[in-house]
Amino acid sequence: MSANVYRRRYAKNVVAQALASAAALLALMFLAWILWVTVSRGVQAIGVSLFTKITAYADQGGLANAIIGSLIIDAMAIALCAPVGVLAGAYLAEYARGTRMGETIRFLNDILLSAPSIVLGLFVYVIVVLPMTAATNGSITFSALAGSIALALIGLPVIVRTTDEMLQLVPSTLREAALSLGIPQWKLTVQVLMRAAGSGILTGVLLALARLAGETAPLLFTAFGNNYTALSPLAKMASLPAAIYQYTNDPNPAMHAIAWAGALLITLFVLALSLIARAVFARQKTSHE
């Protein structure tokens, strides 16, 4: 009888552990599957014309204007959200610690972190694209600027949260030492604390860039798209994710091949950024020990 109970418990344990390992294996398998498909199909279509020809040539062309567009939009988005995010994070960590307002903003920031990106796109459409159209009588409608504002809203909470957490990790002896020398708090924050948490804050910015670089949904109705190279922030601008979306919806298989090449570029860029961010973060950890 008791041997029976023991055997049943033992069997249950073995089955549970096997299923748990199988779950982890299944997740790894999907990762490998997705990466393998992206790499193998993407590599086939990567060539010189991908970087030299624009999307106006369709299946004879490349993604040059989309790559340039993505670089411009992403750079503008990071330029918008990095300073704001770092300062907001500093506010939470240094000025609002333990206050009700600080807690509320931290809480809402966590919600913004997983808010649906398509709604943020609609938001920017309503507050940027529509007023701009009305103000210029329709000569400026969708614009790269609107796209970068939408992406900045996606990157912002990542930077706020990382900055907040990284500044809180800085030992308070550093603050006390600086304040006892009579340094005003703003100088302490900018010149001592932000420097001490520097690589942690950089991690946040890199993660934000990785996050917003792959976003597609909010770009569709903010930056729209463009078959030619545009450099003005007030013009409709092509972007890599939006071009991939458009090409994937096309029935022509030659367009799908170009889309896979674009997908490979984005995936490599995003994964490289996340791995670099992890490496930078690891360095931050060791430098504190």
Q: DSSP letters of 221-264?
A: TTT---SS----TTS----HHHHHHHHHTSS-HHHHHHHHHHHH
CA nearest 143: which of 238, 240, 247, 64? 238
Report the length, in residues, of the chain.
289
Angle at 148 between CA 74 and CA 68, to 5 degrees: 45
* Residue closer to other proteins, measured from CB, 56 or 179: 179
**Span near other proteins by CB under 8 A; candidates 64-72, 111-119, 195-203, 281-289:** 111-119
Binding residue for other proteins, selected from 76, 94, 146, 151, defined by CB under 8 A: 94
Binding residue for other proteins, selected from 145, 158, 220, 258, defined by CB under 8 A: 220
Binding residue for other proteins, selected from 45, 197, 217, 223, defined by CB under 8 A: 217
Examine residue 138 and tell whether it contacts other proteins (CB under 8 A).
no
**Span near other proteins by CB under 8 A; candidates 53-61, 70-78, 194-202, 268-276:** 268-276
CA–chain centroid gap for 282, Å, is 19
Binding residue for other proteins, selected from 158, 208, 235, 263, defined by CB under 8 A: 263
* Residue closer to other proteins, measured from CB, 65 or 222: 222
Q: 264 with 43: CB under 8 angstroms?
A: yes
CA nearest 192: which of 204, 180, 208? 180
**Span near other proteins by CB under 8 A; candidates 52-60, 63-71, 207-215, 230-238:** 207-215
Binding residue for other proteins, selected from 58, 140, 174, 183, defined by CB under 8 A: 183
